[in-house]
Amino acid sequence: MRIVFHAIFIGMLFVSHCEAAEARPNILFIMTDDHAAHAMSCYGSRVNQTPNLDRIARDGMRFDNCFVTNSICTPSRATILTGKYSHLNGVPVFNRFDGSQPHVAKYLRAAGYYTGMIGKWHLGSDPTGFDHWSILPGQGVYNNPIFLEPDGPRQIPGYATDVITDLALDFLKNRPRDKPFFLMYHHKAPHREWVPDEKHRQMFAEKQIPEPATLRDDYAGRTDALRENKQRVFDDLTRRDLKLAPPADLKGPERNRWLNEKPVEVEIDRDGTKVVLKGDELNRWKYQRYMQDYLACVQSVDDNVGRVLDYLDQNGLRDNTVVIYTSDQGFFLGDHGLFDKRFMYEPSLRMPFLVRWPGVTKPGAVQTAMAINADFAPTFMDIAGLRVPPDMQGRSLVPLLKGETPPADWRTAMYYRYYHDPGHHNTAAHYGVRTTTHKLIYYWKKDQWEMYDVEHDPDELHNLYNDPTQQQTVAKLKEEMYRLKKELKDEDQFSKELPPDGVDDPAPPLRRRAAPPVPQRSEQPRVPAKG
């Protein structure tokens, strides 16, 4: 089967690079889970510093308008691999990816790249198209993670972000030297429930993080969707999220139930005195606890990305390796009072996207043209000198990376669709369009609409949908949304029935190459949080 695949695609896809295979650049794709652009200093973060991620931006190009097409883990990952929207790659929610379909790693491998996938995969099925893979089962855990590999599962002692980096460095050290490589190096961090390692936990434990302007958004003028959601910092963080210690006598399911409750009062120790927090004092404390741990997890990613960049520098790989940094979607850092993602609002829709391609990207370049996650696969194809398969729905970003003025027909609007309803956090299903200046959101199960002028109202506080002066804009946006929906072949394939969840099975028992059990250093979730 693979031989047939190779024969077909090598013939189809090579443009002119066969004889110059060695010169084709390596592609190092670094992706985190739920890392918002506004928690990176190169994007102007008010809450943290990320000096190593900033190195990529300083020496490469920062994309300021890169958007996800369906803001949750599994669908974004399927789109990144296939270059197709959820309704065509078959992954609208947390269902298993059908690995028999074509995707970018298969194409690159067939064209002579040595391909690797390390870290969080979260697509349910075993990876296809990779010479080497070592993945977390489902969400995986932060401490002493188990990895699934072709030979079976193995547990590796240590902190997930460090361990995944060690495995990525092993891949680089052990790769065949006669081929370019394509490595997907995917972190678990900083996903819920935000468990930092001790060093970074301490770094943030006493920090006071500035609150975002919309933390106390009252949702006035918006539809029911925001009011009904259950992903609010003040109301929906659990004791587990807040790292509260259960009473010693609680065991088994009762202990779990205690940890999963959303506390309305919390007793803390302040300078040796027990204090009970409630009301606004508790709300402020919850925001701090959330952000301290989230940012501590990010800081470990930053350190570890620095290790990998150093390795490239020290091993003659810098000049011929394209380094990409992104996250599978954005995230709410208290914006609109929320954590998590899902909604089409800016903090969740926007992905960080940095590309350093020595000799191609100008140092410190900033790109404002609109990119989407479906563009990543076509971009990798183009970087490798391959033709972009016509059924990929994204476009190669290479012309933008070269700093050229975007092609005249470059997109000025992107289409979005979120399906997971009923689902986690009671977030309502919706689709919509974002143009360079406006956004229209349609909660199709509620038949409710929102429209924002993102240029003049970047915080999206003023729903203009019913404003009589805006009806021409609303009509234009509707036209554009339905045009894109049709062009992208969204025929409501998943609007009535969603495929069953299938990516969060618990880790299988260790069968082979099992390391001896290691002591657990901190609380591990019994049921992994989704997303």
Provide the binding-site residues for Ca ion, judged by CB under 5 A: 33-34, 73, 328
CA–CA separation, 307 and 144 (whole Å): 20
Q: Which is nearer to Ca ion, 328 or 346 (CB)?
A: 328
For 471-501, give one letter per residue: b (16+ CB within 10 A) or e: eebbeebeebbeebbeebebeeebbeebeeb
Q: How far is the CB of 9 from Ca ion (least distance, A)?
A: 30
Q: Which amino acid is at 312?
A: L
Q: Running DSSP on this structure, what letter comes out for residue 471?
A: H
Supply φ then ψ for residue 432, to 5 degrees: 180, -175
Q: Which is nearer to Ca ion, 73 or 344 (CB)?
A: 73
Q: Which is nearer to Ca ion, 128 or 373 (CB)?
A: 373
Q: How far is the CB of 334 from Ca ion (least distance, A)?
A: 17
Q: How far is the CB of 335 from Ca ion (least distance, A)?
A: 16
Contact 376, 80 (CB under 8 A): yes
Q: How far is the CB of 77 from Ca ion (least distance, A)?
A: 8
Q: Which is nearer to Ca ion, 331 or 452 (CB)?
A: 331
Q: How far is the CB of 245 from Ca ion (least distance, A)?
A: 27
* CB count in 10 Å sphere of residue 248: 7
Q: What is the number of residues in the chain?
A: 531
Q: Running DSSP on this structure, what letter comes out for residue 487?
A: H
Q: How far is the CB of 329 from Ca ion (least distance, A)?
A: 5
Supply φ then ψ for residue 230, to 5 degrees: -125, 55
Q: How far is the CB of 122 from Ca ion (least distance, A)?
A: 8
Q: For residue 237, give Cα distances in angstroms to 232, 254, 283, 290.
A: 7, 18, 10, 8
Q: Which is nearer to Ca ion, 115 or 348 (CB)?
A: 348
Q: For residue 343, give Cα distances in angstroms to 75, 224, 226, 348, 484.
A: 14, 13, 9, 6, 19
Sole residue written with tokens 């296939």: 82
Q: Which is nearer to Ca ion, 33 or 241 (CB)?
A: 33
CB-based closest residue to Ca ion: 73
Helices (H), ranges, 32-85: 51-59, 73-82
Q: Which is nearer to Ca ion, 59 or 328 (CB)?
A: 328
CA–CA separation, 512 and 154 (whole Å): 7
Q: How far is the CB of 330 from Ca ion (least distance, A)?
A: 9
Q: Which is nearer to Ca ion, 80 or 355 (CB)?
A: 80
